[in-house]
Amino acid sequence: MGELGFTIIGIGGGGGKIVNAVAEQNDGRIRAFAIDTDFSAISRLNRCQQKRIGATRFDGAGSGGDRNGAGMAADETADLASVFDGSRIAVIVAGIGKGTGSGVLPKVLAKAADRNVATIVFMVAPFLFEGIELTRKAAETEQSVAKAGDVKIVCKNDDLCPTASDLTLEEAFAKATNTLADGITMIWKMTMMPGYINLDPATLVSIVRTGRGACNFGLGASSGPQRVKEAVATLLGAGGTGLGGKLTGAKAALVGIIGGADLMLREVAEVMKATGSALSMDAEIRMGTVLDPALRDEIRIAVMLFREWTPLYAAEGAGDGEEEEAAPRPRIYTAPSTAAAARGNKGRTGKKNFNDRFQNSVATCLDGENLDKPTYLRRKLHIDLL
């Protein structure tokens, strides 16, 4: 079993390569699985546990772009859910636009939901030069899992490895694989390695559940005397793995900072100041730092930006005690309807008592803020009375 129930799963050829790279970077300490219909390709992933599917349907030769057939192959695999045994949180990586990744991803997410496993999904979209058909199919896959899983991150190959770079084809795809592998490794290290500002696995699960929905992911790394300035510039830049102008629309952010024994407190403060100033004033910020002895004279920063942020208190008290079927959580909550208020007043006669008139009311919340609280309390403003 992986450390404290952390599992990574790669679906299809691209997803499997990335997950295998993550497992290789961490000497097998992460519980890693590869799921594929191409038995020749999966056999080369020697750092993952291999889950072969579709043997009778595809004869181990791959799905040939048949996403519907790949999905049926997943349904026909009786032990597919075993990849989540003992897991509390899973990072799932799938190349989308072709067959196996697009067809199997929704099935795997359904299995995770059955096991109540929190999920961070990386969907790797094809290069633009691969054609409009793959781009369209990738968009359809995004739509098909919009309400499945927890956090969904779309990574474009054009961003992971810009086509303008002076690299061979082999080097370009290796760079794209390693860049995403580095990001996933940072998520694992933030929760599984000791740090002075800790982010434990339970906190990560809570963050993933609260920030459920579309998410952006950015990376920045550098070494040398200007490492913080350079890493932040990469992180906030518009190209590659930078977040560009995406920070302004985020409801919340998770910032992870990893460095060696020479990581300075002022460097952590500089990273948080630069990141925080780029976010909106009312955005929630969570952070963690990790000391990795393997890093020397280097700092790495990873940021997850959440487009939705629904605190637990906003979901409480929405009904009259009756259990309701789970549904996507809305961002805006208002007081109960007139009919609900009438039910609450049923049987009351005589003189009205207004002391408890708000007792059964639901807090009015917008984007995670309780609007029933005065602004100065919500924003933690200090007011000097002269």
Counting residues of the chain whose pLDDT is more than 90, the rounded percentage is 55
Q: What is the pLDDT of residues 153-177, one digit of tens each?
A: 999 888 887 765 688 888 888 888 9
Exposure b/e, 198-235, CB count within 10 A at least 16 = b? ebebeebbebbebbbbebbbbbbbbeeeebbebbbebb
Closest CA to 161 of 379, 331, 33, 14: 14
| pLDDT higher than 80, residue 315 | no
| Domains detected in the chain | 1-192 (3.40.50.1440), 215-309 (3.30.1330.20), 311-318+331-344+356-386 (no CATH)
Give the per-residue pLDDT at 327: 44
CB 267 within 8 Å of CB 234: no
Rounded Cα gap, residues 21 and 47, in angstroms? 8
Rounded Cα gap, residues 204 and 190, in angstroms? 9
Give the per-residue pLDDT at 343: 44
Higher-confidence residue: 374 or 143?
Answer: 143
| pLDDT higher than 90, residue 379 | no
Give first-to-last CA distance, the chain, whole Å: 62
| pLDDT higher than 60, residue 345 | no
**Token pair belonging to 3:** 């450390």
Instruction: Using pLDDT thresholds of 50, 70 and 90, give the confidence band for residue 362.
Output: low
